[in-house]
Amino acid sequence: MPTLTERASEWYELFNRYAGDLYPGRYTLERCRELAEMSDRISELAARKQSTIIAHNYLYPEFHEIAAQVGDSLGLSLWARDAGAVRVDFESVYFMGATAKLITGDDTRVFVCDAPRVLGCSLVFGTDHRWVEKWRERNPGGIVVTYINSDVAMKAISDYICTSRNAAAVLKAAVEANPGKRVLMCPDKYLGWVTRAMAGLSEEVVEIYEHHFSGFHACCYVHEKVNPASLDRMLDEHPEAELLIHPECGCASTCLFRVQNGEIPHQKAYFLSTEQMLWHARKSPAKEFVVATEKGMIYRLRKEVPEKVFYPVADEVVCDFMKQNTFEKLLRSLEEDRIEIIFCDDCCDPREPYTDDRVTHIPRSAGRLAMAAIDRMLAI
Ligand code: 13P
Ligand code: SF4
């Protein structure tokens, strides 16, 4: 077991080697010592409270070092269910914690380290539930396919959930199972456009939600910054590199079009979820990769595939919501047992769930409907 000083130096070396360019100036020796000290206290409390800490790929490197599992949104929830965790502290954004609660049900206590509004997501804030309900009235029998990056209320008015791993397969299955019915895909327009094109489906069959709501576009504000120009610049600088593109990217459908018309070779560009990027990088013969997703993923790729080189597509691809998770907040959350996501007996509206500084609610009926949509995806 390394001493505190040894772990602080080990983290200092590791974080600066794999993430020094991603977060310049963040990892001083002094800060690494503070982090190592807090991690001791976190481990002690987590053991006492029977908590399993899980963290999304986009979190700061220190979370990758202490989490029992690091991964993508759906993968982590399924992992928590299969691990039979008594309690999970889910370090990510709020909708991911809520998805884990839906999937693990009453068996597992799920905590997030700050309020749902703080651990937000532009996709959640940009979803207009009423617009979707009106779409259903305009399209009787219509089918709604919703990205997992959405709140419980949106999942509850959906027929199928999809993730960035399986979006094209779910969309195809939804269309095949409902012949003649119009399908709405929401809430991410970039994911929607690229998925519809990959599934070979037409605009007549699949409509994409492109609405603006509460000041947010129907997209991930982080991936939207990855435009065709930033990708071209990186391709010029690293002509041998493969492109790993998250389908939420603003450049995704243009890039797919360029692959389809032969402008970019097929074996060069891959549209992948964060976890699929890791699987792909391990098995690809390529030695260099331009990574078009949130910077946090680069640390994981560099650490787990150290023999290859990974370039972030652009400096500004950082999710401020994910980066709200800190060791200080996780410690407070473990010490004070907050904020727990609990089912309530429909005491509130799922679009405005009751939240205080200890708990946040998922109304049980909305939770059941949301889980039915998740189950339809899992069955595909
Ligand atoms: P995945 O990790 O599921 O690919 O999702 C990416 C994302 O933007 C999560 O917020
Ligand atoms: Fe939401 Fe985008 Fe941040 Fe993911 S990266 S949590 S989709 S804002």
Q: Is the CB of 122 under 6 A from ligand 1?
A: no
* Ligand 1 center to 32 CA (angstroms): 27
CATH 3.40.50.720 fits 122-220+373-378, yes or no: no
77 — phi, psi (to 5°)? Answer: -65, -40
* Ligand 2 center to 47 CA (angstroms): 30
46 — phi, psi (to 5°)? Answer: -60, -40
The whole-angstrom separation of Cα 317 and Cα 244 is 14
The one-letter amino acid at 254 = T
Q: Is the CB of 278 under 6 A from ligand 1?
A: no
**CATH class label, 4-120+321-338:** alpha beta
Q: Is the CB of 156 under 6 A from ligand 2?
A: no
Pick the closest to residue 78 from 163, 136, 13, 145 (CA basis): 163
Looking at residue 43, its pLDDT comes to 97
* Ligand 2 center to 318 CA (angstroms): 9
Q: Give me the percent of the chain exceeding a pLDDT of 70.
A: 100
251 token code pair: 């450049």
> Quick check: 1 pLDDT over 90?
no
> Quick check: 48 pLDDT over 90?
yes
Looking at all shown ligands, the one closest to residue 297's CA atom is 1
pLDDT band at 129 (very low <50, low <70, confident <90, very high): very high
Looking at residue 267, its pLDDT comes to 84
Bridge partners of residue 355, in order along the sequence: 360
Q: Is the CB of 59 under 6 A from ligand 1?
A: no
Per residue in 197-248, pLDDT (tens digit) is: 999 999 999 999 998 898 998 899 999 999 989 888 998 999 999 999 999 9
Q: Is the CB of 164 under 6 A from ligand 1?
A: yes
Per residue in 76-91, pLDDT (tens digit) is: 999 999 999 999 999 9
CA dihedral (29, 31, 33, 35) positive or negative: negative
Looking at residue 105, its pLDDT comes to 96
The whole-angstrom separation of Cα 270 and Cα 287 is 15
CATH 3.40.50.10800 fits 223-312, yes or no: yes
Looking at residue 73, its pLDDT comes to 85
Compute the mean pLDDT over every residue in the chain, rounded to the nearest whole number: 96
> Quick check: 112 pLDDT over 90?
yes
> Quick check: 266 pLDDT over 90?
no
* Ligand 2 center to 91 CA (angstroms): 13
Looking at residue 253, its pLDDT comes to 87
């946090």: which residue's tokens? 296
Ligand 2 atom 1 nearest Cα:
121
Pick the closest to residue 38 from 327, 323, 324 (CA basis): 327
Q: Is the CB of 99 under 6 A from ligand 1?
A: no
Looking at residue 259, its pLDDT comes to 87
As a whole number, mean pLDDT of residues 288-299 equals 97
pLDDT band at 122 (very low <50, low <70, confident <90, very high): very high
Q: 4-120+321-338 and 122-220+373-378 share one CATH topology?
A: yes
How many H helices and E strands in the chain? 16, 14
Query: Strand locations in the chain, DSSP E?
Result: 51-56, 69-71, 87-91, 109-111, 143-147, 160-162, 183-186, 206-208, 242-245, 269-271, 288-292, 309-312, 340-344, 359-363
101 — phi, psi (to 5°)? Answer: -65, -40
Looking at residue 8, its pLDDT comes to 97
Beta carbons within 10 angstroms of residue 40's beta carbon: 11
- Name the pairing type of β-strands 51-56 and 87-91: parallel
As a whole number, mean pLDDT of residues 351-364 equals 97
Question: Where do the domains of the chain lie?
Answer: 4-120+321-338, 122-220+373-378, 223-312
Per residue in 177-190, pLDDT (tens digit) is: 999 999 999 999 99
> Quick check: 276 pLDDT over 90?
yes
Q: Which residue has the higher pLDDT, 40 or 263?
A: 40
- Measured CA to CA in angstroms, residue 198 lies from 41, 59, 253 at distances of 47, 29, 9
Looking at all shown ligands, the one closest to residue 94's CA atom is 2
Looking at all shown ligands, the one closest to residue 72's CA atom is 1
Q: Is the CB of 362 under 6 A from ligand 1?
A: no
Q: Is the CB of 92 under 6 A from ligand 1?
A: no
Per residue in 301-335, pLDDT (tens digit) is: 999 999 999 999 999 999 999 999 999 999 999 99
- Measured CA to CA in angstroms, residue 181 lies from 53, 68, 144, 191 at distances of 42, 43, 10, 21
Looking at residue 17, its pLDDT comes to 98
pTM of the model: 0.96
Provide the CB-side half-sphere exposure for 282 (13 A, CA).
7
Is the previous residue joined to 339 through a cis bond, with omega within 30 degrees of 0? yes
Ligand 2 atom 2 nearest Cα:
220
> Quick check: 351 pLDDT over 90?
yes
Q: Is the CB of 317 under 6 A from ligand 2?
A: no
Q: Is the CB of 93 under 6 A from ligand 2?
A: yes
* Ligand 1 center to 164 CA (angstroms): 7
**Mutate which of 123, 154, 246, 295 for ligand 2 pocket (most atoms within 8 A of beta carbon):** 123
* Ligand 1 center to 248 CA (angstroms): 9
Looking at all shown ligands, the one closest to residue 166's CA atom is 1
> Quick check: 279 pLDDT over 90?
yes
Helix (H) or strand (E) holding 377: helix 364-378
